[in-house]
Amino acid sequence: MSVSSQTPTQEKAVQLGIDLEQLPSHVAVIMDGNGRWAKKRGLQRLLGHREGYRTLRGVLLNASELGIKFLTVYAFSAENWRRPEDEVAGLMKLIETAAKDELRAMHRNNVRVQVAGRLDEVPPSLRKALLDGVETTKGNTGITFTLAVNYGGRAEIVDAVKSIIEAGTKASEITEETIASRLYNPLTPEPDLMVRTAGEMRWSNFLIWQSANTELYVTEKPWPEFDETELLNAVLTYQQRTRKFGAVVE
């Protein structure tokens, strides 16, 4: 890639020492700290989630400009139903509104939208908004953006196993590849890099099958403060590591 054809984000990346030919293909993000960010400022937790939505819009654009091919974010976990009822309702509405409002811009920018999770358990209007996004953008060839809603890694594996059983597959024929082929988005490659904000050091049931060999990057910044610089720092850290996949690398 010539310097003249680089995007602004790529130019910044090169200045930091990032090799544009060795980018992680798939970056997954656990967007944590919205509520704490709001509380620290004397705001309601839902306002923190709204700020987090604005952050996500920018990060998606930065990731696309950098050249990352897949971005998956943890928008609402299966465990999040345990939160206060008003917060859950607010989150459902926020995700629905964002899905509708951003669809035209994502389609215009060649973003392909996917979803992951048990959508049959979310409000019908939210499910429709998400599936409309998937249908509208299915032919796009830019970054693939996956929104995990009502998602749990263990639940995904359970659903995969049920699908295998329903297909009549013999136990002796089941392999890791069999299970992987029955996951929510089997054609999406496993994440190379997992980013978690707000300093938490847990996997929180996110992509646990797919992340067996994923590099983890944790930042103390809460999600509303995550920006292009933090994304580039995560990628630079990733490139400074040696991925062994269980082998010995000299």
3-state DSSP call for residue 63? helix
Residue with tokens 């990346």: 13
Residue 172 burial class via C-beta count within 10 angstroms: exposed 0-12, middle 13-18, buried 19 and up: exposed
- How big, in percent rounded to 5, are the helix, strand and coil portions of the chain? 50, 15, 35
Report, as residue numbers or ranges, the catalytic residues: 32, 80
Rounded CA separation 246/236 (Å): 22
Sign of CA dihedral 148, 195, 215, 99: positive
- Is the CB of residue 48 less than 8 Å from the CB of residue 32? no
Distances in Å between the Cα of 150 and the Cα atoms of 85, 128, 166, 237 are 15, 14, 23, 30
CA dihedral angle for residue 232, residue 145, residue 176, residue 152, rounded to 10 degrees: 100
Helix/strand number for the chain, H first, E second: 8, 6
What is the distance between the alpha carbons of residues 49 and 31, in angstroms, rounded to a whole number? 10
DSSP strands (E only) in 183-246 = 193-196, 215-218
